[in-house]
Structure 1
């Protein structure tokens, strides 16, 4: 039996919205990291699927319409300041229509499109971890961030 206290991790959903080869990021103020750049997203609500959460959060935060939502992966991080375990589930989708607006001005200053190879810094820590994981997978031809092509295992 473990001496560790029982706790529930926080489950968040991060949404990679693609417009061609560009991705949407918002300049946010968070409790953990002051100002940082982050994908649209938020906390998973009771009885809500990950895809439903992703769609809801994108609409609430940016006003955008998206399509073809797909599961991507996850990160599992313990924030040093709060000692809180934060699991972020990432979803990829395609931009459908609209102009990104900062609809939650108390949380996000601005939304901007960036080329994937030229992302701003600092990034929200779960995004940094996720990107480093994906780079390793892509180097081994295991993953496509657009999630449009099947895995190619080199065995």
Structure 2
């Protein structure tokens, strides 16, 4: 029997007026765009996991800065049985180096204009636009 919820971390990386996104290879969000991320390993902080997953999925190096938000991703079977429950810790990161290249479980990776993403130019995983807006506010110095 699986234990729920599972903790995962997302690396939210802005560089000027652009954001780094990956296209997911695997379910539940296969084909959708979102922030690089994955499981938090036992003994690892979500901050460290965000930086590690970013590097594994894209080759980009970043320094985790602060928690932005927690996102519950819950899916149920038609009969109401819990299929999965992830608690995603969205982590604002500062870009250090590297050019994004899709690896690990990403189909594609790249930098995209923040305005285009907020305007809905790509099919996004749930919560990406709201988290991106929160990151833009944080980077402007409003609360972090």
Q: Same fold (TM over 0.5)?
A: yes
Gaps of 5+ in 1: 1-5
Partner Cα distance (2:140, 2:65) in 1: 10
Hey, what does 1:127 align to over in structure 2?
Answer: 128
Gaps of 5+ in 2: none
Partner Cα distance (2:61, 2:86) in 1: 27
Count of equivalent residues: 137
> What is the TM-score with the length of structure 1 in the denominator?
0.75
- Deviations 1:46-97, CA, capped at 9 Å, x for gaps: 0101111111111111111213522111111312456311211100112121
Superposition deviation, residue 36 in structure 1 = 0.5
Hey, what does 1:103 align to over in structure 2?
Answer: 103
Q: Which has the higher contact order (CA 8 A, sep 6+)?
A: 2
Partner Cα distance (1:15, 1:69) in 2: 10
- Deviations 1:125-145, CA, capped at 9 Å, x for gaps: 2425xx1x775x79xxxx824
- Cα RMSD over matched residues? 2.8
> What is the TM-score with the length of structure 2 in the denominator?
0.80
In the TM superposition, 1:1-155 aligns within 5 A as: 7-67=3-63, 69-81=65-77, 83-104=83-104, 107-119=105-117, 120-127=121-128, 131=130, 144-146=137-139, 148-150=141-143
